[in-house]
Structure 1
């Protein structure tokens, strides 16, 4: 939906109001994703939730519950989780489809084979005929992240998986002044992106490097066409006169992004 966006930017203490149209604005909280092969994984260690809530939480991150199909990936996740996780269980993207020992499928529709399994014996046992979801289990002697069939209503932590992200880099020269130690600057991407990034890292330097000005740069807001950077002088507790400042940045995307 197209909407009118009003942006307030403080420079030298005066208020600058910019009006423009844009499709949407999105800011996504930063999370740690671990890359393995063509995918990256998020280990949730917060308040335990049931299986449905875990599926929905991963979906909000553009992900699914993790498909732990190989021993190599299993060992990677076990090492990443560590030997003392806060909860015993982590939901993965495997569910029962029938009562057979091999009656499980991954959330991409592929079936489980004997060679892929990491079951903790005697599981899967479908205790009380009500264990249709699967978790990696820790803190049980000999478990070490082995699979355990559990009730889907059981509260657990979970593992999310999504395609490995992509980074895009760029830079922009901005004419900026400030009477204070810091200011906010809107930086256009100067390229057409199919999606906004979820994280941006930026740095700034004077275009004329003979100036002693040094800046700390933090991302104040992320939008679909631009991001707002907070420039703060770290060499002096004062502002600066009108100057050309080069702001270079790296944008992080959680899915493949098209650049035009």
Structure 2
């Protein structure tokens, strides 16, 4: 609340003694409704403050502290009905400056807002007026529970939450979500939170016989986008097989992929040594070496 007090002083002006009448400004951090605030001013000083010019308004504001908690002070302007004119107590003046009210004020937002408070938090709204119900106790718009995952920013008669990265909502209560992920073909995934919310990490793995191409893990970023593209599970391939000398090979799949089987056959007059078939394994290695086709002709030397 803001009060003023009449004061008289003897001054020397142009070498002539005279008396001047002025006033001093006072404020209190006691939280009261408008009526009790006026009674407090009348009991301790003269009355609630009366402002008569923008210059005086700016001067009064310059005397006030920059308060972040409950940054409002009652001033001595009021009216008795919505259709009535705003009037200063004491002298019945109706002065209102062209830039006294805050943006979109007075708005009678909650009906019967017939008293006025001045806002003193630093920023563009410092020194602006807001209409308020006379029976309320000026209080901070922000408190410890205003924002769950963010910082509360207060302006005149309004507050808003500036959310931490990855959170949205009027109280920053909701984690952003990335688009749902599906497992890669021939693979599977497992997510840390069982969902696709901010900070969730999903791990990818491929089934046996398939090789992971791309990132094995992705994380949901603050912007709601996964940190990398979904990987691909590519079929494992074994290296090409060369034909055995004096033989041939036939494979079940020309791509020589996982589980492909290649069968060897020796030409007439040659005997196979080794396995007649090999299979492409899950790690891309054949199950055995290529066999050898040895000639069955036996040459006898005569001495």
Which has the larger share of strand?
Answer: 1
Structure ranking higher on relative contact order (CA contacts 8 Å, 6+ apart): 1
Same fold (TM over 0.5): no
TM-score (norm 2): 0.36
TM-score (norm 1): 0.42
